Chain A
Amino acid sequence: MDLGPYLLLASLEGAVAAAVLALTAVGLSLVFGVMRVVNVAHGEFFMLGAVLAWWFASLVAGHPAFGFVLALICAPLIAAVIAAAADYFVLKRLNYDPEATIVATIGLLYIIQQTVLMTYGPDARPVEAPFNARIYLPWFGYSTYKFFVIGAAIVLLIGVWIMLTKTRIGLVLRASQLDSEMALAFGIKVDQVYAMVFGLGAGLAAMAAVLVVPIQQAHYLMGGDPLLLSFIVVIIGGLGSIAGTVVAAILIGMSDGIISVFFSPTLAKIIATLLVAFVLIFRPTGLFGKRSI
């Protein structure tokens, strides 16, 4: 077999990784952009989505699609509610002081992780894909579910984009981001906006995890990689820039997939980290950022 099919396979794997990463990183980017909060617990909301997906799937008997659909709706919702509560009861009380919120979200990280360990346990558990037909390309078969993941991520990202740019909620959100004091002086309930954004960010991460869990298995330590990669993507894309985040996610996700197939996943992480270092040195505001940090 020559190189072509390998490259195609690697690109497909990369596209799946990019799709999941884009969703996760946009959640992190939104939270940072609007609230200026660095959410270190972001990866745990991803993990929570995966574990909840397993739980919902195990609740429902019959065709795996039922459990999956239930998980796709409920798991992000639960993650969002937990995040919004954490914002309301913890971050708000810290007045969103940058250092204090980092410490608080580190605390949140351990609380979620340990709670899952105590309840769900240390095992990695699979969730059955809702459908599993394979498409036979001339060189190899490929799971239709993976195409679905890519498609679903695109639809969700377009949804977020429309929400931000075309709706009243998006307008209120952008106004709060630009000048929260003036937003307040124009009747915007900034507290509610923040809780909603923090919930939305966590919900997107959880959604990404639900999509990925039929491919990857749920495990209580699975939040680390998405967190690291999301940070990389948000920094490369430009802090607070949603478009930049998506572009960087595609870049990092694709190269991660391709390098992992041809060489090793470790090399992929090393290269991504090096890329961040270069971006920070030569273009500290990121590819799409314009504000200085």
Chain B
Amino acid sequence: MLDVRGINVGYDQVQVLYDLSLTARPGEILCLLGRNGAGKTTTMKAIMGLLPLRSGSVLLDGEDISALPAYEVPRRRIAYVPQGRRLFSELTVAENIEIGLMVRDAGKATRDRVLDIFPRLRERLDQRAETLSGGEQQMLATARALCIEPQVLLLDEPTEGLQPSMIEQIRQVIVQMKSENVAIILVEQRVDAVLSIADQVAFIENGRNLETLEAEALRQDPSKLTRYLGV
């Protein structure tokens, strides 16, 4: 279980997150909803240890991972699929995957399992990441993260700019991870997609977590959505 407890985070002078708290449970999908600039990406970077916390903590099964150096966080099996993919552009598909495998010294079995999920990547192992299509790049970003064999998976707008069939494929992978008892935090802009997949929904506004709701309650009564997002 991943527990974000009252974190305050910012860049240099500006503070972005204020006393933000979240809880992601194994086998559940927590969706973060919020307008552009609300602080969703910042939240994920803070969990990964890429931004220093001014206060608060991030606990993984009780261990305070925010006290660790950033490179230790993925070794605790927390995997990150960042917004905009952020592949190692000049490296090949195989090399990007290798970087993912190296995190926990995973071997061929893991590699095969990940490539079985994304057969398209297997055909393109020697292609440079920057020359992949947008959809293939998203597959690679996801595959790279799955190489960590995550217990917590952070996905930041994984369907941004993708066509429906590709979105469906990413969705299936997320559902599969959920069934394998991974705790998932997903940033997603499309409300219908959120409602169909989420277990919990957290509304982030101006760097604050206004409320975390059961998705079931939202499905019954979507009026809250209108209130928070104006949709």
Chain A residues in the interface with B (C-beta under 8 A):
168, 171-172, 174-175, 178-179, 181-190
Contact = CB atoms under 8 A, between A and B. Distances in A.
Given A168-B102, A175-B99, A190-B71, A184 B50 contact: yes
B207 interface: no
Interface residues of B, number: 26
B86 interface: yes
Given A171-B91, A174-B91, A179-B86, A186 B50 contact: no
Interface in B43-60: 48-50
Contacts of B82: 182, 185
A288 to B, nearest CB: 14
By secondary structure, the A interface counts as helix
Given A171-B91, A171-B95, A178-B91, A186 B103 contact: yes
Contact of A186 (B69, B89, B100): B100
Contact of A185 (B80, B90, B91, B102): B80
Contacts of B48: 184-185
Given A186-B74, A186-B99, A187-B75, A178 B50 contact: no
Given A171-B95, A186-B99, A178 B71 contact: no
B88 A175 contact: yes
Nearest to A192: B71
Contacts of A171: 91, 95, 98-99, 102
B103 A187 contact: yes
Nearest to A184: B70
Contacts of A179: 86, 88-89
A185 B144 CA distance: 11
Most buried by B among A182, A185, A190: A185
B50 A181 contact: yes
Interface string B129-172: 00000000000000010001000000000000000000000000
A185 B100 CA distance: 10
Contacts of A187: 71-72, 74-75, 102-104
20 contacts: A171-B99, A171-B102, A172-B99, A174-B90, A174-B91, A175-B95, A181-B50, A181-B86, A182-B82, A184-B49, A184-B50, A184-B70, A184-B71, A185-B73, A185-B74, A186-B148, A187-B74, A187-B75, A188-B99, A188-B102
Nearest to B89: A178
Contacts of B100: 186
Nearest to A176: B88
A34 to B, nearest CB: 13
A181 B41 CA distance: 14
